Chains A and B, each alone.
Chain A
Amino acid sequence: MPDSAPPPDGERMRRWASGDRSAFEEIVRAWEKPVGRFLARLTGDAELAADLTQEAFLRVYLNGAKYRDGGTFKTWLYQIALNLARDAARRKVRKPAVPLAAAHDPPADTGVSFDRREQAEVVAAALAGLPEQLREVVVLRHYEDLNFEAMGRLLGVPATTLKSRFAVAMKKLEEVLVPKLS
């Protein structure tokens, strides 16, 4: 399910660069949910994703002067988030991860079926089981609805390579998920 694209942010960045702090806060409010969800799906850890989202916008605040209006703001922002996720994976933070599915367990009285919750856990686990490069492509293509060219600019990898990786990742997920959940 693709996230709705926030309105263009070049104007907000220009206002912020000229000293309007409220423009920065508008940027944060517009992008915190998409970035948060992106990091959650990428890391598979809801608590880590929240920390990384906070850090991502801190870096946006500290490096706002380096942003050049030629590119898209989303690419720049997601590049920061992606780098944070990769750094976290390399550090291998040893704290009990709050699984993505469990973090979003609906309250007991909402009537959400256990099957749906279990299904979400299986999907999250399967996604987390993919190698980092394949998982990134799946999250960016399926959940963020980025085309392969835009993904190529973000990841610094040719689009054709990313298409191959996506096909490999989807095949692996299909082999794991379809027999379990169909």
Chain B
Amino acid sequence: MNPDFPELRKLLDAMPAADPPPVDLARLYRDALDRQTRTARRWRRIAVGVAALAASVLVFALLPKLEVRANGHEFAVRWGTPPEPQAQPDPRIRELIDEQAKQLAALRAANVRHAELQELLLTVAADVSQRDKDQQKRLTALATRLGEFETLTARHLQEAEKNSTALYNVVFQKAKSGP
């Protein structure tokens, strides 16, 4: 079988290719205008629908909270609950609060003073302790020196006694032995 199908192509060419009727330009322009108008109308409807949907969503969201009031010369629309009026504080409470603040300040100052006194006491105690130690050292040194002095004195006394005895012996031994 010939892949180019020559015989078949001849048969296909036998099908007529008569010219179609010409395009109606006037009708084409009318149809174009009509279609453009319909498209614009459709977009307007869509825009209105979207706006209406948004408005209805807003209304349904606000409706439960909506309050409409009409007086003689006033028309008010309100949504949501009005805020609660703030209660005026009791002046005595204010005074108590101020008093408490003062007491707290005084307590803090007292705490600080107490801390300072404690610090001073510790410093003095440390000083006294140090002085005691110094005094103790001096006393110890003094005792030591006193001991040394006593020892020295005893020695001097012994020497003095020796010397006295020796002198007595010398003086009185001579007297006995006469001229």
Contact = CB atoms under 8 A, between A and B. Distances in A.
Contact of B20 (A36, A101, A170): A36
B14 A32 contact: no
A13 interface: no
A85 interface: no
A127 interface: yes
Given A54-B27, A61-B32, A120 B7 contact: no
A86 to B, nearest CB: 19
Given A41-B15, A54-B23, A143-B17, A170 B32 contact: no
Given A61-B32, A173-B8, A177-B11, A100 B16 contact: yes
Interface string A19-61: 0000001001100110011011100001001100110011001
Residue with the highest number of chain A CB atoms closer than 10 Å, among B15, B21, B27, B36: B15
Contacts of A100: 15-16
Given A57-B28, A177-B11, A170 B22 contact: no
B102 interface: no
A93 interface: no
A119 B11 contact: yes
Interface in A123-173: 123-124, 127, 138, 142-143, 167, 170-171, 173
Taking residues whose C-beta sits less than 8 angstroms from the other chain, chain A's interface range is 35 or more
Contact of A58 (B3, B20, B28): B28
Contacts of A142: 9, 12
Interface in A108-124: 116, 119-120, 123-124
Q: Is the interface of A mostly helix, strand, loop or mixed?
A: helix
B172 interface: no
Contact of A104 (B5, B8, B18): B18
Given A32-B20, A32-B23, 16 more contacts: A28-B23, A37-B17, A53-B20, A54-B28, A57-B23, A57-B28, A58-B32, A58-B35, A103-B18, A116-B14, A120-B14, A123-B15, A127-B15, A143-B17, A170-B8, A177-B11
Interface of A: 1, 25, 28-29, 32-33, 36-37, 39-41, 46, 49-50, 53-54, 57-58, 61-62, 100-101, 103-104, 116, 119-120, 123-124, 127, 138, 142-143, 167, 170-171, 173-174, 177-178, 181-182
Pairs of residues from A and B, 9 with the lowest C-beta to C-beta distance, nearest first: A36-B20, A104-B18, A104-B16, A123-B15, A32-B23, A170-B5, A174-B8, A37-B17, A119-B14
15 contacts: A25-B25, A28-B28, A40-B17, A41-B15, A41-B17, A58-B28, A61-B32, A62-B36, A104-B18, A123-B12, A124-B15, A142-B9, A173-B11, A178-B8, A181-B11
